[in-house]
Amino acid sequence: MSNAIEIEAKSLVSQEDYRKLAKLFAEYPRYMQTNYYIDSEDRVLAKSGIALRIREKGDRYELTLKTPLSEGLLEKNVAISLAQFEDFKSKGIFPKGDTSRFLTMLDFDVASLKILTSLTTDRIDVEYEGGLLSIDRNVYSGTTDYEVEFEYNNLEGAKAIMTRLFQENQIPVAFSSTSKTRRAMQALEKSR
């Protein structure tokens, strides 16, 4: 299991502003990924501020657990196999390993966890000003939105760099703290 601290500024943008940035960074490759969001029916993880997902990117699958820190999120990542993903998706067999042990240690019943919804992202990643700029088109539960994220070593620096980029391209600056997980789960609730 690898651990990382994720610190990022993010902003939802209009389709027009998304296209403007996608054109500006057109030489960078695009790729697709799908996040499968996991919780129990009564959202025991969300109530504790924990997010859990499996990310499918190409033929790789990664289980990620995110817990809040004073600045940013602690991410615990572990690669899982296609067979483990399929067993969980179709049979509810949570992948054994560090993540299941950690959740059990926190007194969560992994047998109650399941995939509740998913979000597919068409992403452009750009190494930019010492950080990572991601330009995303997200599709989930009949909704499409556009988001720009900038991962950096501190939040204020990330916001300053992103503000400059947006101002240089006449894009309104409106930072958001609503994660993809939360947006996907809210859209799921509305669709029920």
Q: Where are the domains of the chain?
A: 2-187
Which pLDDT score, from 0 to 100, does residue 5 have? 75
Cβ atoms 9, 162 nearer than 8 A: yes
Residue 127 has pLDDT above 90, yes or no: yes
Mean pLDDT of 91-113: 95
Residue 73 and residue 47: Cα distance in Å, rounded?
16
Residues 6+ apart with CB under 8 A from 130: 152, 153
d(CA 181, CA 37): 7
Cα distance between residue 92 and residue 114, in whole Å: 6
Confidence tier at 144 by pLDDT (50, 70, 90): very high
Domain 2-187, CATH 3.40.50.1370 — does that match? Answer: no
Model confidence pLDDT, tens digit, residues 29-72: 999 999 999 999 999 999 999 999 999 999 999 999 998 887 77
- In this prediction, residue 190 carries a pLDDT of 85
How buried is 135 (Cβ within 10 angstroms: 0-12 exposed, 13-18 middle, 19+ buried)?
buried
- Amino acid 31: pLDDT: 97
